[in-house]
């Protein structure tokens, strides 16, 4: 996937930044596709600093646009969604600074998918300005860690990447077996 994105960037010239941001918006809206591939492509193509900045902008715009669109459509299904996480349940019933800090904290910690935080925030009483600022500020540390990790993996030799791939497959198999029990 990263190779395809890099090919798009190479063929698009100066539009590569906008393509990256647009892809991030699409990823944010669907909420289930991890953005790590796009972060890796941004760092590979634009360099660490510029790639990180473009990733932050893309994720911020993606979260804000998704929040707006989710809020538009959420009133139709609001009472049909059951929330089973104490932090998300709390977020749905908060507003102002309490919601701000809760969104900020949920963005920093990767335990809850970004799309879920955005969806629940859209169904809460938090305003779009508070959401936008808290979401973006919370994403920065998470993206710094993600970008640094991606850079380290990109700098590995083929042998190191192969070992990481095998370990990842092994961990996925273990998780699947645990969930099947």
| Tens-digit pLDDT profile for residues 117-143 | 888 888 888 889 999 999 999 989 888
Higher pLDDT, 91 or 129: 129
* Coil, helix or strand at residue 172: helix
Indicate left, alpha or beta for 120 from its phi (over 0: left) and psi (-120 to 50: alpha). alpha
Per the CB < 8 A criterion, the answer to whether 59 and 35 are in contact is yes
Instruction: Report residue 65 as tokens.
Output: 């646009």
Name the domain count of the chain.
1
CB 45 within 8 A of CB 6: yes
**Does some domain include residue 180?**
no
Q: Is residue 91's pLDDT more than 70? A: no
Let me know if residue 36 belongs to a domain. yes
As given in the structure block, the two tokens for residue 23 are: 């892809």
Spatial separation of the C-alpha atoms in residues 121 and 24, rounded to whole Å: 19
Identify whether 139 is part of a domain. Answer: yes
How close are the terminal C-alpha atoms of the chain, in Å?
32
Q: How many beta carbons lie within 10 A of that of residue 25, not counting itself?
A: 19
**How much is the pLDDT for 77?**
60
Contacts of 2 (CB under 8 A, 6+ apart): 37, 40, 41, 44
> pLDDT higher for 61 or 86?
61
Q: Give domain status of residue 169, yes or no.
A: no
Is 85 within a domain?
yes
Please check whether residue 5 is in contact with residue 54, taking contact to mean a CB–CB distance below 8 angstroms. Answer: no
Q: Domain containing 34: what range?
A: 2-156
Q: Going by C-beta distance under 8 Å and a sequence separation of 6 or more, which residues neighbour residue 55?
A: 20, 24, 35, 38, 39, 42, 43, 143, 147
Is residue 45 situated within a structural domain? Answer: yes
């Amino acid at each position: 996937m990263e190779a395809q994105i890099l090919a798009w960037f190479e063929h698009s010239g100066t539009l590569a930044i906008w393509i990256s941001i647009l892809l991030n918006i699409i990823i944010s809206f669907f909420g289930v596709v991890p953005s790590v591939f796009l972060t890796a492509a941004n760092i590979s193509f634009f360099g660490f600093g510029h790639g990180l900045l473009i990733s932050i902008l893309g994720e911020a715009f993606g979260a804000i646009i998704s929040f707006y669109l989710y809020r538009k459509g959420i009133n139709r299904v609001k009472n049909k969604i059951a929330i089973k996480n104490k932090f998300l349940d709390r977020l749905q019933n908060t507003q102002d600074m309490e919601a701000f800090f809760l969104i900020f904290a949920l963005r920093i910690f990767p335990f809850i998918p970004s799309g879920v935080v955005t969806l629940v925030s859209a169904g809460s009483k938090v305003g779009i300005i508070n959401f936008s600022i808290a979401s973006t500020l919370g994403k920065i540390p998470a993206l710094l860690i993600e970008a640094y990790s991606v850079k380290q993996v990109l700098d590995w030799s083929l042998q190191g990447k192969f070992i990481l791939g095998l370990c990842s497959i092994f961990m996925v198999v273990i998780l699947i077996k645990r969930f099947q029990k």
